[in-house]
Chains A and B, each alone.
Chain A
Amino acid sequence: MSDRAPDENAKPRAIVAGHGDFAQGLVSAVDVITGRGHQLIPVAVPGLCAEDIEKLIRERMQESGVKVIFTDLQAGSCTMAARRILRGADDAVLIAGVNLPTLLDFVFADRMPAIDAARHSAERGRVAITVVGAAGGVKQA
């Protein structure tokens, strides 16, 4: 995490969960680039069964009060767990397939409600993938 002092009023706004050190790595990158990594709670799930993954993410949400979950892979265990948690909930959102541009947009959209910011950032992340080279020019994926 950054050695810059975070805004005292700044609270976590989202959970980032995924395989291996994916979450910690992304949050670290966000913090290096923006100093706003404190908005994100990284969650790793090594060696946990599906029920314990769900329990861990649920506990992190309850502790922090966040209503936004970013996960890495549509088919991933964290995504499955998040979908179970969000079942029937209309005050929370899951963004699966998160990338760094998504999170950068999210942490800067801190004047928006977190759920709206998450939806906005998902669109920004989706169009941020570009292909450069072989086919010529620069294309959005």
Chain B
Amino acid sequence: MTLVLHRIDDRLIHGQVVVGWGQPLDIRFIILVDDEVAASEWEQELYRMGVPPEMDVYFLSVNKAISELPRYRADARHGILLTGDIDTMRRLVDAGGITSINLGGIHHRTGRTQRLRYVFLNGDEETALREIATLGVAISAQDVPGARPIPLDDILAGVAS
């Protein structure tokens, strides 16, 4: 499997993804799974301009991602799978093949409670993450490679800082 990171980040493609993770992991492609972006040429061009020329970006709807992920996993290059929300990642987990999830950025929004500097969750989102974890998926928060990964249990127990 050459998808080296499965990340939930509501900023989608941005500096931490392209540079922070992209350079040390030698990332050569990003699979951005988002129904809205997959339906918008303008949104795709916006994100495409944010990546260096040696990095490919593939924009997939959730349904298309479910059918095409096996092909991307067979790619010899290193890649990142990126979603902007927990629900989208949950649907991909249900389709199989994902054993770990990186919480990279779920930022403040009305109804969410701050868990980490870069992780805010509402009750439904916490429940969804617990359910994903019961499927055997390792979930941790880590915004950049140099940061300490914080396991989901610690995040939800409030012992992480």
User: Which A residues fall within an 8 A CB radius of B?
Assistant: 19, 46-50, 52, 73-77, 79-80, 83-84, 87
Within the assembled complex, what's the spacing in Å between the Cα atoms of A137 and B50? 33
Q: Are the C-beta atoms of B109 and A49 separated by less than 8 Å?
A: yes
Determine, out of B14-22, B62-70, B88-96, B128-136, the stretch whose residues face the partner at the interface.
B14-22
Q: Are the C-beta atoms of A75 and B109 separated by less than 8 Å?
A: no
Q: In the complex, what residues of B have CB within 8 A of residue A47's CB?
A: 107-108, 117-118, 120
Q: 19 A-B Cβ contacts within 8 A?
A: A47-B117, A49-B11, A49-B107, A49-B108, A49-B109, A50-B11, A52-B108, A75-B13, A75-B14, A75-B18, A75-B50, A76-B15, A76-B50, A77-B11, A79-B50, A80-B11, A80-B14, A80-B50, A84-B46
Chain B residues within 8 Å of chain A by Cβ, number: 22
Task: Closest B residue to A84 by CB, please name it.
Answer: B46
Given the interface pairs A48-B108, A52-B107, the reply to whether A75 lies near B11 with Cβ below 8 Å is no
Q: Are the C-beta atoms of A77 and B14 separated by less than 8 Å?
A: yes
Task: Verify if B74 is at the interface (C-beta below 8 Å from A).
Answer: no
Within the assembled complex, what's the spacing in Å between the Cα atoms of A46 and B116? 12
Within the assembled complex, what's the spacing in Å between the Cα atoms of A74 and B18? 10
Q: In the complex, what residues of A have CB within 8 A of residue B19's CB?
A: 73, 75
Task: Closest B residue to A50 by CB, please name it.
Answer: B11
Q: In the complex, what residues of B have CB within 8 A of residue A87's CB?
A: 42
Q: In the complex, what residues of B have CB within 8 A of residue A80's CB?
A: 11, 13-14, 46-47, 50
Interface string of B28-61 (1 = CB under 8 A from A): 0000000000000010001101110000000000
* B69-128, CB < 8 A from A: 105, 107-109, 117-118, 120
Within the assembled complex, what's the spacing in Å between the Cα atoms of A87 and B17? 24
